Amino acid sequence: MNNIFLITKREFLTQVKKKSFIILTLLAPILLLGFGAVIGLMFKANESHSIIEVVDKNGLFKNQLKSNDKLNYVFVSAADEKSKINNLKNNESLDGILVLPELKDQNFDELEKNTRLVINNKIGFDTKQKIVSDINEVIKKEKIKKLGIAEIQLDNLDKSFNLKTINVSENNKEDSDLAFGVKSVLSMLLMYVTFMFIIIYGVRVMRSVLEEKNNRVVEIIISSVKPFELMMGKILGVTMVALTQFIVWITMSVIGALVLNTGFSAIPKNIPGNEDVAGKFDILQIGTQISHSLLELNFPLIIFVFITFFLLGYIFYSSIYAAIGSAVDNETETQQFTLFAVLPLMLGMYGSFTLMNNPDGPLGFWLSIIPFTSPVAMIARIPYGVPAWQIALSIGLLLGTTLFMIFLAGKIYRVGILMYGNKATLKEILKWIKG
């Protein structure tokens, strides 16, 4: 046991003292936020501003098609239709001409048939759909007016219905759409981080084992320690490295949420001037609401489940990776074995994408119970709330399976770490386990 502790300590200190580890740990959250901001700016930068001239032969759409910052309608005379279309190709300041024919006998089908959009260049799908939506809205109003319904009545018809949801399992707390969205984002984030870290750090264990095997360093090491102790020391050392990163990131996230909650909430109240000025700070208000939703979650339980399932899941899969590293002679040969480790995790991750539709459904339940998928699936479910007995059952099964996998990996590692030049087959690996 003392040897395992010493090897764990050595692996941990070797990793955390690296400049790359320190930089990644401190800057990763900032880089992720920056990456998200860049993606948002890219979408913003690629937004189009289209100018569409409208030939309204009936006058029905006059002052009805509303311009915005992305689409500008300019109404022109019907007499200029032909000249406008003929000169459109050489007009770089104009994106298209919308020709709306005369409406005869309230025949809207004929209106749709003869309406056309002549474009100067390719326009985006969103722009075209916006034009279609605007035309449909005007036609809808005309049809309703034909039925004798007043404008005020029309507004009442279009008024959306907001359903207030009260969750009795959470002390009759209101379950808002924003809160559900926050849970969904948090669920996907925790699941994806767990998936990536198990893969990344598991491969790191495998490569470390493979490197020591190829360098014949392991022959010297195992003269002082048992192969099982060496394997467990490596796994636990890298586990502590990953856990350290998580603790730092969790701390930074909680501090960030507290800052948003306490700092931004007071900004609109202190703005001098009218309500229009204060309305410009909607983004800050949304940030405050998100931070409120985050702080209302059961973070102690979420953190406990996250750390528990990550540690057990990582040790489970790292045992597999360590066994693979000891059974092969080069990284090329690892590909035929690593598939067995990656596929269950991928199944759990992609299956968890459906959880937001039904977190308590049969798929979510079984994915979070089966040990091969529970490290990612249970973490994905926990923000939505999971019964205590399911958490306990999943932990028990995962713990038992992890201990069994450590036992099997130790058997493989004991023989495979000293095997050189021979490509291990599944049949041979089974013999190592039985031996």
Tell me: the pLDDT tens digits for 18-68? 777 777 777 777 777 777 677 767 766 666 678 888 888 877 777 778 888
CATH of the domain at 114: 3.40.190.10
Indicate whether 112 belongs to any domain.
yes
pTM over 0.75: no
Mean pLDDT of 239-257: 76
Average pLDDT (97-114) is 79
Q: Is residue 365 part of a domain?
A: yes
**Same domain membership, residue 413 and residue 275:** yes
- The confidence score (pLDDT) of residue 380 equals 87
pLDDT of residue 396: 94
Residue 415 and residue 228 in contact, taking contact as beta carbons nearer than 8 Å: no
- Decide which of 335 and 154 is more confident: 335
Among 80-84, 137-141, 256-260, which is the least confidently predicted range? Answer: 256-260
133 shares a domain with 183: no
Residues 246 and 372 in one domain: yes
User: 3-state class of 201 per DSSP?
Assistant: helix
The mean pLDDT of the chain is: 76
Mapped onto helix, strand or coil, the DSSP state of residue 56 is strand
Same domain, 350 and 219: yes
Single residue among 97, 123, 158 that ends a domain in this structure: 158
Task: Give the Cα-Cα-Cα angle 41, 42, 43 (nearest 5 degrees).
Answer: 90
> Where does 215-327 have alpha helices with state H?
217-221, 227-263, 275-279, 282-296, 299-327
Domain range for 396 is 176-434
More confident residue, 181 or 189: 189
pLDDT in tens, 359-382: 778 888 898 999 999 999 898 888
Least confident among 91-95, 103-107, 217-221: 217-221
- Residues 183, 221 within the same domain: yes
pLDDT for residue 160 = 65
- Residue 20 within any structural domain of the chain: no
Q: Which residues pair with 75 in a beta bridge?
A: 54
Q: Looking at the structure, do residues 396 and 345 belong to the same domain, yes or no?
A: yes
> How far apart, in whole angstroms, are the C-alpha atoms of residue 215 and residue 148?
88
Checking if the pLDDT of 71 tops 80, the result is: yes
| Domain identity same for 197 and 152 | no
Has residue 247 been placed in a domain? Answer: yes
pLDDT tens digits, residue range 302-324? 888 888 998 898 889 888 888 88
Domain count, the chain: 2
My answer on whether 118 and 211 are in the same domain is no
- Last residue in a domain, options 158, 187, 208: 158
Q: Give the end of a domain, one of 127, 158, 189.
A: 158
Q: Which residues pair with 85 in a beta bridge?
A: none
- Cβ neighbours of residue 434 under 8 Å, at least 6 residues apart? none
Q: Does residue 307 belong to any structural domain of this protein?
A: yes
Q: Is the pLDDT of residue 270 over 50?
A: no
% of the chain surpassing 70 pLDDT: 76
Asked if residue 322 and residue 216 are part of one domain, the reply reads yes
List the one residue out of 359, 393, 392 whose CA is nearest residue 377. Answer: 359
pLDDT in the model for residue 292: 60
Is residue 12 one of the residues assigned to a domain? no
CA dist 240 and 238 (Å) reads 5
Written as six digits, the tokens of 149 are: 């319904």
Residue 73: strand, helix, or coil: strand
Same domain for 146 and 182? no
48/123 Cα distance (integer angstroms): 9
pLDDT at 267: 47
